[in-house]
Amino acid sequence: MRWALVKVSLAVTVMVVVAFAVPLGLVIKEMARDRAFSNAERQAAAIGPSLSITTDRAQLDRAVASTQAGAAGRMAVHIPAAEGDGGRALEIGTGRAAAKDLETVRATPRASITDVEGGSALLQPIALSSGQIAIVEVFVPEGEVSNGVATAWLVLSGVGAALIVGSVAVADRLGVRMVRPAQRLARAAHDLGEGKLGARVPEEGPPELRSAAVAFNSMADQVVQLLANERELAADLSHRLRTPLTVLRLNAASLGEGPAADQTRAAVEQLEREVDTIIRTAREAKPQTQATGPGAGCDASEVVRERMDFWSALAEDEGRKVRVAGIDRPVRIPVARPELVAALDALLGNVFRHTPEGTAFSVDVHNGDDAVIVLVSDAGPGIADPAAALARGNSGARDGSTGLGLDIVRRVAESTGGDVRIGHSVLGGTEVRIWIGLDGRRAGAGAGRRGHRVGRRKRS
């Protein structure tokens, strides 16, 4: 499109320049010719008064020499011989016109221009007092006829070239103004097709491309919203299915021994594995780029209160002591509510699944300047190899545990630049520390260092 606009502009400008420059150059040439012969006519007219008074050669020589053309040797006066006295014709100056041209002018007393060697000659008839016709010849060189024409053509050519270059430059800039928004739109569409949902197009350029950019951005926002709804559905599926499964598994564990009890427990484990597979598949399909913004977070305190209300009923049935701290005031974090709900349910479900009945646990929320720490602690037997547990959560390996719960928690923390650490809790069991960054990379960079120091204090 850019080169097409340049070619069209070049063709149109060349046609306009040719259409105006050629006629203008011809007019200038004609004006130079008229100027040269008008000057010759004035030179010839200057001799008229002298010829009307006298035909004396000496006086006429002085009159001719007083003119510019005469001084330059370009003027001649042809006076015919007087009738009846047998005199000779008088020739003053150097004549260049042919005799037949002179006779033609005398026959029809009218100024005439004739071609001579080296230029042209103006033949101006002047009536004498004797009634005869004298002819004043003024020679006009070819250079004087075309004087200034070459300069005029050069100026016109320069102006035409400048117009052509200027029009091409303007067309190129206009083409860039049209092509660049189209290229940005194409790149954004390509990025969106590759799963980069953060791709957007600046609403710039001509009105049509601005409308296309607005439509594309609206479409991309809609795609992000649809995928966000799918992620929320997956998270909702996580805590809606896994929580009842945890209760069902605990109840199945209390059925005692026997074939029916073993079959029930095996069926529950099989169902739990299938549900974990479904949830893991849904989470692994989430897009590479998610939309974030001021409204993308949630209140961690409110989410913790809500989930602890749910799990407290089951804890009461099993005789577990529950402690919650740090949720007396709002704590905003850049994590979607369904994501945090899924992470908390995963950790609390692990407490109920892997610790005996009656084991106490707690949830603490610590609000810092650049990060929020959520601690889930229990008084259970602890984790023999925390590093292996985290590796299982990263890899999704199955060695008696799916690792899905820690994988959910890790994804939530790392989406904010934070991390997850496992240590020993003050209750004597396991402590899972979720470091949620509030300031992107700075929070994530500091999380590892500060989390490591806190972990050493806890373990000592």
* pLDDT at position 168 over 70: yes
Are 117 and 228 members of one domain?
no
Asked whether residue 133 is assigned to any structural domain, the reply reads: yes
CA pair distance 34, 27, nearest whole angstrom: 10
pLDDT (mean) for 401-426: 82
Give the DSSP H or E segment for 261. Answer: helix 259-284
Are 93 and 242 members of one domain?
no
Are 254 and 145 members of one domain?
no
Are 289 and 434 members of one domain?
yes
Residue 448: the pLDDT is 43
| pLDDT bracket for residue 372 (50, 70, 90) | very high
* pLDDT at position 114 over 90: no
pLDDT digits (tens, 9 = 90+) for 236-256: 666 567 667 777 777 777 777
CA pair distance 312, 226, nearest whole angstrom: 34
pLDDT, greater one: 247 or 441: 247
Q: What is the CATH number of the domain that holds 60?
A: 3.30.450
Asked whether residue 250 is assigned to any structural domain, the reply reads: yes
What pairing do the DSSP bridges indicate for beta strands 371-378 and 361-367?
Answer: antiparallel
Domain count, the chain: 2
Residue 376: the pLDDT is 94
Residue 167: the pLDDT is 85
| pLDDT bracket for residue 62 (50, 70, 90) | confident
Residue 296: the pLDDT is 56
pLDDT, greater one: 184 or 2: 184
CA pair distance 155, 377, nearest whole angstrom: 90
What pairing do the DSSP bridges indicate for beta strands 119-127 and 112-116?
Answer: antiparallel
Asked whether residue 419 is assigned to any structural domain, the reply reads: yes
Are 291 and 402 members of one domain?
yes
pLDDT, greater one: 415 or 448: 415
Domain end among 105, 126, 149:
149
For 366, other C-beta atoms within 10 Å of its C-beta total: 15
* pLDDT at position 440 over 60: no
Residue 452: the pLDDT is 38
| pLDDT bracket for residue 191 (50, 70, 90) | confident
Asked whether residue 215 is assigned to any structural domain, the reply reads: no
For 206, other C-beta atoms within 10 Å of its C-beta total: 13
CA pair distance 329, 372, nearest whole angstrom: 13
Are 374 and 256 members of one domain?
yes
Asked whether residue 159 is assigned to any structural domain, the reply reads: no
Asked whether residue 305 is assigned to any structural domain, the reply reads: yes
Residue with tokens 């040797």: 73
Domain end among 104, 122, 149:
149
Residue 243: the pLDDT is 66
Asked whether residue 194 is assigned to any structural domain, the reply reads: no
Are 237 and 106 members of one domain?
no
| Mean of per-residue pLDDT scores for the chain | 79
State percent of the chain over pLDDT 90.
12
pLDDT digits (tens, 9 = 90+) for 256-282: 787 877 788 788 777 777 777 666 666
CA pair distance 318, 314, nearest whole angstrom: 6
Asked whether residue 191 is assigned to any structural domain, the reply reads: no
E strand residue ranges, 211-353 = 298-299, 322-325, 332-333
Task: Dig out the tokens for 304 from the structure.
Answer: 């913790």
Q: Which residues of 157-169 are buried (b: 16+ CB within 10 A; e: fewer)?
A: eeebeebbeebbe
Least confident of 71-75, 87-91, 166-170: 87-91
Distance of CA 270 to the CA centre of its chain: 54
Domain end among 149, 174, 194:
149
Are 440 and 302 members of one domain?
yes
The range of the structural domain enclosing residue 245 comes to 222-459
E strand residue ranges, 107-252 = 112-116, 119-127, 133-141
Backbone angles phi, psi at 136, to 5 degrees: -100, 120
Q: What is the CATH number of the domain that holds 239?
A: 3.30.565.10
pLDDT (mean) for 344-355: 88
pLDDT, greater one: 3 or 307: 307
Are 132 and 229 members of one domain?
no
Residue 289: the pLDDT is 41
pLDDT, greater one: 101 or 373: 373
pLDDT digits (tens, 9 = 90+) for 16-31: 888 888 888 888 888 8
Please list the residues that pair with 76 across neighbouring strands.
93, 137
Signed CA dihedral, 433, 354, 391, 428: sign only: positive
Secondary structure class of 204 (helix, strand, coil):
coil
Are 248 and 124 members of one domain?
no
Residue 285: the pLDDT is 53
Residue 444: the pLDDT is 40
Signed CA dihedral, 315, 319, 320, 324: sign only: positive
State percent of the chain over pLDDT 70.
83
pLDDT (mean) for 207-226: 86
Say which amino acid occupies 213.
A
Are 437 and 347 members of one domain?
yes
| pLDDT bracket for residue 317 (50, 70, 90) | confident
pLDDT (mean) for 273-299: 59
Residue 122: the pLDDT is 86
Are 60 and 92 in contact by the 8 Å Cβ rule? The answer is yes
Are 315 and 454 members of one domain?
yes
* pLDDT at position 86 over 80: no
* pLDDT at position 186 over 90: no
